[in-house]
Amino acid sequence: MSEPKMSSGGEEREESPRRKKQRPDNSDDVAVGNMQRYLVAVEYIGSRYMGFQKQKGQDGRTVQSALEEAFSKFVGKSVDSAPSSRTDTGVHALRNVCHVDVERVSKRKPGEILPPHEPAVVKRAVNHFLQKNGEDVQVVDVRCVPRNFHARFEAKERTYHYRIIVSSEALSVFERNRAWHTSEQLNIPAMQQACECLVGHHDFSSFRAAGCQAKSPMKTLDELRICEMPLWLCYPSEAMQIKCCDESFRGLNEERACSSEVGNSKSHLNTAALEDALVEVPETKAQRPRCYVITARARSFLYHQVRLMVGLLKAVGTGVVQVSDVPHLLEARTVTKAPPMAPACGLYLAEVKYQLD
């Protein structure tokens, strides 16, 4: 049995175990008749959307409604999708996954049923309509699956990333709503120790937000770790550029350093010199932003569990909470004892694993 990966990113909600059903005789066929079920992986920037899942009476656009609209324009009739994970407002996805049933009907001869589309055709066509509609959503993978395959209930493992950027300066607009920005320095070794306290099988009631639909707060957290990563986008602000010029370029040759014009108090930055200096001159933590990524991996999570755990880790990193307090917080079994929850903007649903024949 192989385990192909299809990734997905987003806010965590309880994933209920699937009720076992007797498979029909033709359940092993990829398509029943000419109705084809596709497993579709998408990436999106969640800032513009009211979460992934469409809701009755909900104002605002969702990722699911944008995706289904693109599918409907492609096949010529309404299409429903079922997601693996229902991300909340402002949460992003590197690869979220859903399944979609499509019956291919001839547009030239109404009523004539044609063989299913190839996955590559589906991907290209749906992306065309997503781009035409100006959506921040893109299909990154499509594959055919059996008709009884369910994107949510068949998931074996989910992985989330949370980005925290530490910087004393305002971030570039290109990083806006992509991470949790803090000016406070973080004690990373202490945060890693706190991660180790949370890994394993526990009652996570202290990390369970109101409205959670899970029947039990017992969960097994397979991995929780923090590491420093390069910034995905690093466009220094003007103030940061001047600071780099004043501090990092001192001692370099004049033609490679910042120059100041007479009568002008504002430093001018030589772009080529900046690129060279960033490689040659060791930077200090105070000079440039640091990006830390917290990774959480489990079969399923409680509602807001990841963001509540990140809130705790950040509190440990700033010294508000001690590592020795973490086990006591778990034992308290009430979310009222937890530090403030991390904002949605830094959360990414990174991967969903399935076991397929």
Which residues form the catalytic set? 88
Do residues 64 and 53 touch, judged by C-beta distance below 8 A? Answer: yes
Distance of CA 103 to the CA centre of its chain: 31
* Contact residues for 334 (Cβ-Cβ < 8 A; gap 6+): 205, 206
Tokens of 104: 């291919």
Do residues 294 and 165 touch, judged by C-beta distance below 8 A? Answer: no
Round to whole Å and give the CA distance between 203 and 220.
Answer: 9
Among candidates 312, 306, 295, 318, which has minimal Cα distance to 344? 306
- Measured at the CA of 169, the angle between CA 165 and CA 170, to 5 degrees, comes to 80
List, as one string, the DSSP characters of 300-344. Answer: ---TTHHHHHHHHHHHHHTTSS-GGGHHHHHHH--GGGSPPPPPG
Largest CA distance in the chain: 85
Distance of CA 146 to the CA centre of its chain: 27
